């Protein structure tokens, strides 16, 4: 099965996240998924090397999801075989006063990948139609216009040579509760817990409606969304690794031609004119 296509949101689709099963595994078992993840991670590493060497295109991976959905672990596992020189991760926190003094996309555009690079957004410009909407940080007349601005922004990136993968990590409230409780009781994870997580969880239904609208209105031909089941970590990692691999293979980066003939290089190395 083409898992990239299976979890892609086709432009114009009506979206209700409660109709997407967060525990879906397509009948796959963990052993098989982990084997394929390893294969994909190795392939991604090789493709990233060629992307960096070719220096013509770039890749932007946008990860969105509720707290504890697994954004950090996705980066750690899917990108485990890449060269850090060509891959950067940006986490978008609460905007600073300086950032708020600009348009909402200003801080985002500055972080997009340059040619030959992969950039991963751990949260992204979509916070400006999610958090600001749920918490009424700006009026509806402001955030409702941002969908179109986001689509135009992403279209411009694609036209400039940046491929975009957008992934919503679809976690159930039951699974999220389990993971948040683990954070509270595990000394190695407790640092990740914030009191604000409680407020976000209380607003679950409001966030789901906001995500419904964001995914529905911003899944485009040039930058479609993917809704990836997240309750089973091993399946989530396999699916996302497959999406990234498929995208890089479609880009087809190639190593650049030799800049000097080997025999000429050998003569120069030997000091022979």
Query: Can you list the domains of the chain with their CATH numbers?
Result: 3-269 (3.40.50.300)
Q: List residues bridging with 91 in a β-sheet.
A: 122
Whether pLDDT at 221 is above 80: yes
Helix (H, G, I), strand (E, B) or coil at 261: coil
What's the Rg (C-alpha) of the chain? 21
Q: How confident is the model at residue 265 (pLDDT cuts 50, 70, 90)?
A: low
Query: Minimal CA–CA distance to 168: which of 126, 222, 221, 111?
Result: 126
Q: List residues bridging with 65 in a β-sheet.
A: 169
Q: How confident is the model at residue 273 (pLDDT cuts 50, 70, 90)?
A: low
Average pLDDT, the chain: 94
What does the pLDDT read at residue 117? 98
Q: How confident is the model at residue 159 (pLDDT cuts 50, 70, 90)?
A: very high
Query: Minimal CA–CA distance to 114: which of 92, 77, 85?
Result: 85
What does the pLDDT read at residue 86? 95
What does the pLDDT read at residue 17? 98
What does the pLDDT read at residue 258? 76
Q: What is the pTM of this model?
A: 0.93
Calculate mean pLDDT across residues 202-222. 97
- For residues 244 and 163, what is the distance between their CA atoms, to the nearest angstrom? 11
Query: Minimal CA–CA distance to 123: which of 181, 195, 158, 74?
Result: 74
| pLDDT tens figures, 12-47 | 999 999 999 999 999 999 999 999 999 999 999 999
| pLDDT tens figures, 56-72 | 999 999 999 999 999 99
Percent of the chain with pLDDT over 70: 98
- For residues 48 and 146, what is the distance between their CA atoms, to the nearest angstrom? 32
């Amino acid at each position: 099965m083409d898992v990239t296509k299976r979890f892609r949101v086709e432009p114009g689709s009506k979206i209700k996240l409660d109709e997407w099963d967060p525990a879906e595994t397509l009948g796959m078992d963990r052993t098989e998924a982990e084997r394929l993840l390893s294969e994909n991670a190795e392939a991604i590493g090789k493709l990233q090397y060629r992307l960096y060497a070719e220096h013509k295109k770039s890749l932007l991976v946008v990860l969105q999801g509720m707290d504890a959905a697994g954004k950090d672990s996705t980066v750690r596992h899917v990108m485990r075989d890449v060269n850090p020189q060509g891959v950067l991760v940006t986490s978008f926190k609460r905007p600073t006063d300086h950032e708020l003094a600009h348009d909402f996309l200003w801080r985002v555009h500055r972080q997009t990948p340059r040619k030959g690079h992969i950039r991963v957004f751990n949260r992204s410009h979509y916070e400006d139609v999610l958090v600001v909407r749920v918490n009424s940080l700006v009026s509806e007349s402001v955030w409702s216009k941002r969908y179109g601005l986001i689509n135009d922004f992403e279209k411009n990136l694609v036209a400039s040579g940046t491929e975009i993968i957008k992934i919503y990590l679809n976690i159930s409230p039951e699974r999220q509760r389990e993971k948040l409780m683990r954070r509270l009781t595990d000394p190695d994870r407790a640092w990740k817990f914030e009191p604000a997580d409680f407020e976000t969880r209380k607003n679950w239904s409001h966030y789901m409606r906001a995500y419904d609208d964001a995914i529905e209105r911003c899944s485009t031909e040039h930058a479609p969304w993917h809704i990836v089941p997240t309750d089973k970590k091993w399946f989530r990692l396999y699916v996302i690794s497959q999406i990234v691999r498929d995208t890089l293979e479609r880009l087809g980066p190639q190593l650049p031609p030799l800049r000097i003939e080997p025999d000429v290089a050998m003569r120069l190395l030997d000091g022979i004119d």
